[in-house]
Amino acid sequence: MIDGKCLCGEITYILKSELLYLYNCHCKECRAFSGSSMATNATISAADFEIYDDNDNLKTFMVAGGKRHFCGNCGSPIYSYPNGSEEFPSLHIGTISNPPEKVLDANSWISEKCPWVKISDSVTSYEKQIE
C-alpha cells in the first residue's frame, strides 16, 4: 500500500497496487506543472487509486496533453491523465509519503530537457513521448 498527501495535507490518497511504470518527463508541460527541471511520474491503476479531499481542494487544469489535477490550496501537483489514459493516470510521485523501492524505467521528452540535466545511458530514453 502506497499513501501520499499534498504539501498542506488537505488532499491525501492511497494506492492499493504497485507503481506500474516510473519515468522522468522532461516535457515543457511537466516542467511548468511541477515547477522543476523535470517531473517524476508513475503510471498507476486508476481502479486502485483513492483520493480523499473533504474540502474540495482538488482542482483540474485542462491542457493540450490531458487533464492535470493539483491542490488548489497549496499547489502540489497530484496526478494527471495524459490524453486517452483514464485507466492509467500518472501520479506525480513527489507527494508519496514513503517512496517504494523502484528503478526508473524511462526518460521521456528528452528533446525538451533542460541543458543541465544529464541522462543516464542505462535508462531507456525517448526523444518525445514513451512508445
Residues of the shown chain interacting with Zn ion in the complex, contacts defined by CB under 5 A: 6, 8, 10, 25, 27, 30, 71, 73-74
CB of 9 to Zn ion, least distance (A): 6
Cβ closest to Zn ion, residue 47 vs residue 111: 111
Cβ closest to Zn ion, residue 45 vs residue 57: 57
Strand partners, 40: 24
Cβ closest to Zn ion, residue 47 vs residue 127: 127
Radius of gyration of the chain, Cα coordinates, nearest whole angstrom: 14
For residue 24 the three cell numbers come to 522522468
CB of 115 to Zn ion, least distance (A): 18
Cβ closest to Zn ion, residue 4 vs residue 10: 10
CB of 40 to Zn ion, least distance (A): 10
Secondary structure class of 121 (helix, strand, coil): coil
CB of 18 to Zn ion, least distance (A): 21
3-state secondary structure labels for all residues of 62-110: EECCEEEEEECCCCCEEEEEECCCCCCCEEEHHHECCCCCCCCCEEECH
CB atoms within 10 A of CB 124: 13
